[in-house]
Structure 1
Amino acid sequence: MSRPSPESLVADVRNSAEGPSIGAFFDFDGTVIAGYSVVAFMRHHVTHLDIDVPTTVRTLAAAGGQALETEEDFKKFLGITLRTWVGRRPEELEKLGRQLFRDEIGPSVYPEAWRLVRAHLDRGHTVVLASSATRFQVEPAAEALGVDHTIYTAVEVGEDGRITGRPDGRSPYGEGKAAAVKEFAAAHQVDLDHSFAYSNGNEDVPFLATVGRPTAVNPSSGLRRAAAERGWPTIDFAGRPWTGPVEVARTVGTYAGMMGGFVTGLGLGLLGGSRRAGLNLGIGLGGDLSLLASGVTLDVVGGHHIWENQPAVFLFNHQSQLDVLVLGGLLRGNFAPVAKKELANNPMFGPLMRLLETAFIDRADNTQARKALEPAVERLRSGVSVVIAPEGTRSATPSPGRFKKGAFHLAMQAGVPVVPLVFRNTGEFMSRNAMVIHPGTVQVAVLPPIDVSTWDPADLDEHVEGVRRQYLETLAHWPGED
């Protein structure tokens, strides 16, 4: 039994045959994400008082995995879960699933799993999320990961369009998942002997055995024994770092350093008679002190593109609040942010962003958004760069979400280039909705400037998607590592 590293697993995929005849089947709970997606659903139901506590307790206890030794055990667990949805419409749970993935489940995606998925997609493989969970849990993840195929437990819907509380057919659990994979492979001309599969649970031994290249990921004790007996490789993903008193204290020091450094620098600049000089000094000093206190360092590739191309519209893929500190330490100054209007009322960042002359935009009001960008155009024309997250919000996974066009309109109007800043792993040190920062090295790639002066507005959607593809390509093939 081998114990490959995440990097060697990705390398094996990149050295494998190309094309859709090669399958890559990923279990979901515990393999792609840390923990169990059903927990987020149950927690939501309890918070909104639309589920009884005994049902929740039984579901969460079973979700720990210890109670699911047989397919019969799983059927009982599934029955408990589905009873909480009796009478609901599928559209309601689809909406809830997207919300919970964005806010809770998505940030628990293992970075190692994301990189494996991207590597398979890059090879043109047929990638499948294969789970015994329902589509309300699995499909939002598949969409965010760029995966087109899913295998899941179908839920019966009555003639009245409401969920009955029963599964629709056999669940893909244990032998059922193995059978579903074989059926999928036959329908999609996938060669299982040359395909890959990844899972963490005892019940998935038959599933893993369907392919020629199985890997036990974060394996349970039973799967670990089975993998040893069969000679399957095993790997344990690192997961999220532990939060303790030291990390909390560091985070407090980080925010204190950010605010203290900024106020000090601004004050010194004002004493010298220049508000812009004060802003630049404050940004640089605040960024340095906050990164020092947090234990975060920057590993930057292509940093010369920042200094050689100003003013510019700097884009960054938004993963967490840590991005703000990274931008301060990276750009040093001479920029003004563009941010959603909700940040104006943030007790920590709101006052700071007002001082930075931020253009606050209402994402729900296109007319207001265009008007709010007018001062940003003037700042660019006066020689001050602008920083904006083209997704408009923090992404739930390392994959950037759909880019909005505002940043590119801004650059075209001001006649300046777009410079992409690719943040590889800020979400690993501070997840989407977290408050605590963990120490480590944030990797940043500054891509060459993009001249938008010749772009035709009629082709803007295609151009914008091309820039997003540059982010995906850079994240999948980090400079200097291939």
Structure 2
Amino acid sequence: MTGAAFFDLDRTLLPKASGPALSAAMRETGVVTSRLPGESLLFGYFNLLGESLGSIALARQAVLVAKGRPADAFDEAAEVAADVLEPMVAPFARMLIDEHHEAGRLVVLATTTPEHLILPFAERLGIDVVIATRYEVGEDGAFTGRNDGHFVWSMGKMAAVREWADEEGIDLEESFAYSDSIYDAPLLKAVGNPGAVNPDPRLQALATVARWPVLHFDTSPGVVKVPIIGVELQQIVTTLTRPEFFPYAKFTIEGEENVPRTGPVILVGNHRSYFDVTTMLVAMGRTGRTGRFLGKKELFDVPLLGLFARAMGGIVVDRFNDDPDSPGAFANAVRTLAGGELVAMMPEGTIPRGIHFFEPGMTGYPGAARLAHLTSATVIPFALSGTEKVWPRSERLPRMTQLLSRPEVRVRFGEPVDLKYRSVPRDMDRIFDAITQMLPPEVREPARPTLAELALTYPEGTVPDEDRWFAVDGDEQVREV
């Protein structure tokens, strides 16, 4: 026996209720002429907080609307509604459907919505089976005003799914189910792989206790959203990460208008300091977008910081068993871009230290160019400078006492890099050049450092003996910070 993948419709495959689109389509095609009582209020509540007994009562009444009409009377309305609903399906939901198909599983739409209204939508998504509420058709070919079989909701949905699974030889323990509603808890508990998608408050609580994954099909897997309001944690963080909260640094953000507001984007920049993360959060707040940053595994291994980074959708790069071009990190970045999101990366891989910090130009991994070649995403370069004056690598904490002489921290977003798509290494050089050209002259072509300046680039401020020759005053003694 094999498993299947069961998807709920409203607030799961779709970000909100399908009811308004279905009602509008039926009115447009003339099959109905008025709204059901309380329709707008109930759908508004549904979109905000999820399914309620009121919305289900409305769904139960719908069978009476169809009474006496020919069974094919709603076909045109169903096609019109599919035109509206199909573009609403989030890209990550589409990718998940494809992944289940690739794994050999049947994909099933299990919904309370009447079957005759939702079949065209399911067909456009490539869904294999629809388990939905069916209206009884009499001998005269018209709807009778009664259901044919289960009202596919809560325990009725569970019963319909179980009957179908028994008939088709589907093992529920090997199956997946996705829903937003606490009323689908029986189905979620019955399968071996449940997923709470955009969960209502009660399902959020159940998923937390049961340790079920909480998903949002409009963002990358793992991204945390604040329950009920549906806002990404990263959006809240960037709102709170404001320059005035860091009085020991003066921020200058330029070129944020170059970052596209929608669509797949690869942000690529240089790495100079531990303060780069804070600086980029400040800068991202100006772009109006959230992003998925590639970060080294050591960052994600820090207990609280790692959880926080994962919650914001960070992509883990293992520098020892992996690199930014590895199958794991690379595949996750490709998936993120395919979903229309923004990926940010610093291809140097780590903060340059010692001699390398003062060398002109940039070197690093070619992952950004490879991603661009594979996804055709827009590549936007960014250049950081001054962050090392706020938090040099030699110190454990930022220099928070520099209130009267705040160093300038600058972020410049450039115009899209003109890639040629013939050679990954050559295109990566174009990206590096674009970043370098935006740096201030003293960073682009740095002077040979003093021993004290060289020490700032090493942990604990200790310059190895073999590197002291590089400093202007190479014989000077430098205390350990």
In the superposition, the TM-score normalised over structure 1's length comes to 0.44
Query: Which structure dedicates a bigger proportion of its chain to helix?
Result: 1
| Higher radius of gyration, 1 or 2 | 2
In the superposition, the TM-score normalised over structure 2's length comes to 0.44
